Structure 1
Amino acid sequence: MTPITEVEGRRLALSNLDKVLYPATGFTKGEVLHYYATTAGVLLPQLRDRPVSFLRYPDGPDGQVFFTKNVPPGTPDWVTTAEVPRSEGPARMVLVQDLASLMWAANLVTEFHTPQWVIGEPNLADRLVFDLDPGAPATVVECCQVALWLRERLAADGIEAYAKTSGSKGLHLLAGVTPVPSERAVSYAKELAVEAEAALPRLVVHRMTRSLRPGKVFVDWSQNAARKTTATAYTLRVGPAPGVSAPVTWEEIEACRSVRQLTFLAPDMEGRLEEHGDLLAPLLDGDGDGDGNRAGSVP
């Protein structure tokens, strides 16, 4: 029997609560839903007004894993959707604007991925993102060294960077910017990636070519493109254990000497939020939710 629960006046059917989705730790679907319910206060502001791409893994990492960009069949009529432009023609996507919609989406078992623009301005980036992806034997430790260089370089242009783990192997750097055409955001991010490779040639590669990446950190600048998405802060990631794309402090990045220091699982997040609050809250001031003083300008 599928349990029915009520969230903010909306009735939700929640299914398979005992199913293990993370085999290494036995973390169940019910625990996934509990995680999202308890982190909604910090996750929802990151999702707000950004069309969501779902990376679904309903049977865990060993089952089928697939992207869903269009509104899924059976989506309740109270879930907000919006038309977004695509090269092949307009499509409708989900906006996760409230707790009920978040819990409905979480019941699908998904990672949340969002673009660097908000609905209504699909070709204007209000955020910059750098995805720092280590090629073995490099790890997040090397990503931290690259992140510190990029932080200083961005600061030289008046742009303040914030960091989070990818929830997998690497790091993401985010910055709020005065809205700029996505093409300009891409070219600026690529310029910085090229500079990083020139400054740290033994550590950084800016090209996606796999053969160049062992032992180096790929600075992926391409996720600033309007059609691209990045794992949203606080989302769970598919894998053996319930890894979280967790915001981190620059002190933690400076101190990082092992992968374990920057690996955060769902059960870790309650304590981190109590200790640090929302480390990405300043980003929200830079993309329309506040006074805008935090947003830098892409030169």
Structure 2
Amino acid sequence: MSTSSTHAVRAGRRTVEIHRPDKVLFPDDGISKADLADYYRSVAPFMLPHLRGRPLMLERHPDGIDGPRFMQKDTPDSYPDWIHRVEVAKEGGTVTHTVCDDIATLLHLADQACVTLHRWQSRVGRLEWPDRMVFDLDPPEGTPEGAPGDDFDAVRRAAHLLGELLDALNLPSTLMTTGSKGLHIIVPLDGHSPFDDVRAFARDVAQTLAAAHPGELTTAARKQARGDRLYLDVQRNGYAQTAVAPYSVRARPGAPVATPIRWDQLDDPATHSRRWTIRTALEQARTAPWDGPAPRPRALGPARRRLDALR
């Protein structure tokens, strides 16, 4: 049911109202709030397994992507009581994060002009114990965003080098374009190592790789120290840090989407971090790039011993 100011969408046992469905969120592309909600409703079967049970940080653009951006951690009292929440400790108090466990919640977030969802690396009930490790690869500073061709080559090569090192450590990994300029390489963990240990291990992996390829890669946190080298970013492995969730729309012209890909797609000349958009990501999702038996989560202990032997 629709009116000029609301659009009712059925989601399981619930009906979610999309207010001001014709509100344009992506002015250059004519993509409205209703379009955003339709996309998230369609992609939900592929997206929700990556969201369930994880605290979220919500990137909201109520006046469209050209307007103010709000990074929302605390769940407003106005959210429906059926939306899952989790209270998380922070310095000096707590924050109540939204958890997206179903299509209705995903649609409500779209109604709130939540364009992008950023998720924790751990789940409710085991918040101190991450079950994934993330390496963030972006082109060197100064590379024009969206430029075709060579700007992605450094990311592609770094991904191959990191994937080979992770294989040597017996750590299976998956790939995802970020919807921006780079890639995330994600390693499933068994959830028995705390955040500090995971981040330290990720840092040591990155430093080992950078030491082997000092002209191409760096772990320098200061931009001025990186030069034209690609930065191996492991900061998303800390407590309460987030990474963009698979199939999230990014608040950029064209509405690019953070999209899982197969390793054999990495060298496809057409593959680029801006390739999949709100209009095409569902087709890629249906190819089930992360389908089949999921990589078995690994413990860090054996991988740590293998890494120490290589250093």
Judge conservation of contact 2:179–2:274 (CA < 8 Å) in 1. Answer: no
Aligned residue pairs, count: 288
Q: Distance in 1 between matches of 2:58 and 2:245?
A: 11
Within the alignment, does 1:193 sit opposite 2:206 as a pair?
Answer: yes
Alignment of 1:158-177 (within 5 A): 158-177=170-189
Q: Distance in 2 between matches of 1:86 and 1:57?
A: 25
- Residue 112 of structure 2 is matched in structure 1 by 108
The partner residue of 2:237 within 211, 217, 224 is 224
Measured against aligned partners, the alpha-carbon deviations of 1:199-254 in whole angstroms (never above 9, x if no partner) come to 22222121221213453221111100012000001100111121100011112213
> What's the offset of the Cα at 1:282?
6.2
Measured against aligned partners, the alpha-carbon deviations of 1:26-62 in whole angstroms (never above 9, x if no partner) come to 2221111111011000110000100111011122221
Letter matched to residue 223 of structure 2: R
- Residue 280 of structure 1 is matched in structure 2 by 290
Measured against aligned partners, the alpha-carbon deviations of 1:141-169 in whole angstroms (never above 9, x if no partner) come to 21111111111111111111101011111
Judge conservation of contact 1:158–1:297 (CA < 8 Å) in 2. Answer: no
Judge conservation of contact 2:256–2:274 (CA < 8 Å) in 1. Answer: no
- Residue 289 of structure 1 is matched in structure 2 by none
Within the alignment, does 1:136 sit opposite 2:142 as a pair?
Answer: yes
Judge conservation of contact 1:136–1:214 (CA < 8 Å) in 2. Answer: no
> What's the offset of the Cα at 1:109?
1.8
Gaps of 5+ in 1: 287-293
TM-score normalised per structure 2? 0.87
Judge conservation of contact 2:177–2:273 (CA < 8 Å) in 1. Answer: no
- Residue 23 of structure 1 is matched in structure 2 by 27
> What's the offset of the Cα at 1:93?
1.2
Letter matched to residue 17 of structure 2: A
Judge conservation of contact 1:139–1:170 (CA < 8 Å) in 2. Answer: no
> What's the offset of the Cα at 1:262?
5.5
- Residue 121 of structure 1 is matched in structure 2 by 126
Judge conservation of contact 1:58–1:108 (CA < 8 Å) in 2. Answer: yes
Q: Distance in 2 between matches of 1:73 and 1:217?
A: 42
Gaps of 5+ in 2: 144-149, 305-311
Measured against aligned partners, the alpha-carbon deviations of 1:232-286 in whole angstroms (never above 9, x if no partner) come to 0110011112110001111221334x77475211111232123x21x23469x46
Letter matched to residue 176 of structure 1: P
SS of residue paired to 1:211: helix
Q: Distance in 2 between matches of 1:39 and 1:113?
A: 16
Letter matched to residue 5 of structure 1: V
- Distance 1:282-1:59 versus aligned 2 partners, 3 A rule: farther
SS of residue paired to 2:205: helix
Within the alignment, does 1:50 sit opposite 2:54 as a pair?
Answer: yes
Give the root-mean-square deviation of aligned CA atoms: 1.9
- Distance 1:183-1:206 versus aligned 2 partners, 3 A rule: same
- Distance 1:259-1:269 versus aligned 2 partners, 3 A rule: closer
> What's the offset of the Cα at 1:63?
0.3
Q: Distance in 1 between matches of 2:50 and 2:38?
A: 18
TM-score normalised per structure 1? 0.90
SS of residue paired to 2:224: helix
> What's the offset of the Cα at 1:193?
1.2
Letter matched to residue 86 of structure 1: K
Letter matched to residue 131 of structure 2: D
Q: Distance in 1 between matches of 2:282 and 2:196?
A: 38
Alignment of 1:232-247 (within 5 A): 232-247=245-260
Judge conservation of contact 1:140–1:262 (CA < 8 Å) in 2. Answer: no
Q: Distance in 2 between matches of 1:23 and 1:214?
A: 35
Structure possessing the higher radius of gyration over alpha carbons: 2
